[in-house]
């Protein structure tokens, strides 16, 4: 796994384009997360907060934030109806990752200090604190932040 992380770092050094660096980082995050998510701890500033084994079985990102019995569709309707949408992260806001092509939510996290996000990476994944865009490629790069209306 260290070799894969080193290869990712080498590829990122090979370009000065921030967009290209992000694509490379997301590709390697996807590859590493499919093999061994624990190896992501401290890679690109990512912090492993909780292992999957410490969470309820089958819990996904919505279940992590709203309880395992949460209805993800009802949660999304509530968030979109009752929250203010912005493009800037504020502490306490939800970070909603959306596929703009099919207009479908892919992932959800919560913004903590420093504009970082805490989220659970899949039903078999761990809970991480990370920069908003530093998630596996499958979560996309389009983020809307949803804050409670005053």
pLDDT at 68 over 90: no
Burial of residue 10 (CB within 10 Å: 0-12, 13-18, 19+) is exposed
Residues 27-43 as b or e (16 or more Cβ within 10 Å = b): ebbebbbeeebeebeeb
- The whole-number pLDDT of residue 14 equals 84
The model's pLDDT over 18-64, given as tens digits with 9 standing for 90+, comes to 989 999 899 989 999 998 999 999 999 999 999 999 999 999 999 99
Of the candidate ranges 13-22, 39-48, 83-92, the one whose mean pLDDT is the lowest = 13-22
Q: Assess contact for 127 and 120: CB atoms under 8 A.
A: yes
Ordered domains of the chain (ranges, CATH): 42-148 (3.90.1720)
pLDDT tens-digit readout, 102-134 = 667 889 999 999 999 999 999 899 999 999 999
């Amino acid at each position: 796994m260290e070799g894969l992380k080193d290869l990712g770092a080498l590829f990122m050094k090979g370009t000065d384009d921030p967009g290209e660096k992000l694509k490379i980082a997301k590709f390697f995050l996807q590859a590493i997360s499919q093999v061994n998510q624990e190896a992501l701890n401290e890679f690109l500033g990512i912090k492993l907060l909780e292992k999957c084994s410490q969470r309820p079985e089958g819990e996904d990102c919505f279940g992590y934030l709203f309880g395992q019995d949460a209805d993800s569709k009802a949660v999304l309707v509530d968030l979109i109806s009752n929250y203010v949408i912005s493009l800037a992260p504020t502490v306490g806001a939800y970070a909603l990752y959306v596929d703009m092509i099919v207009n479908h939510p892919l992932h959800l996290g919560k913004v903590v200090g420093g504009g970082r996000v805490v989220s659970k990476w899949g039903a078999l994944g761990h809970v991480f604190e990370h920069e908003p865009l530093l998630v596996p490629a499958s979560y996309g790069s389009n983020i809307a932040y949803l804050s409670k209306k005053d």
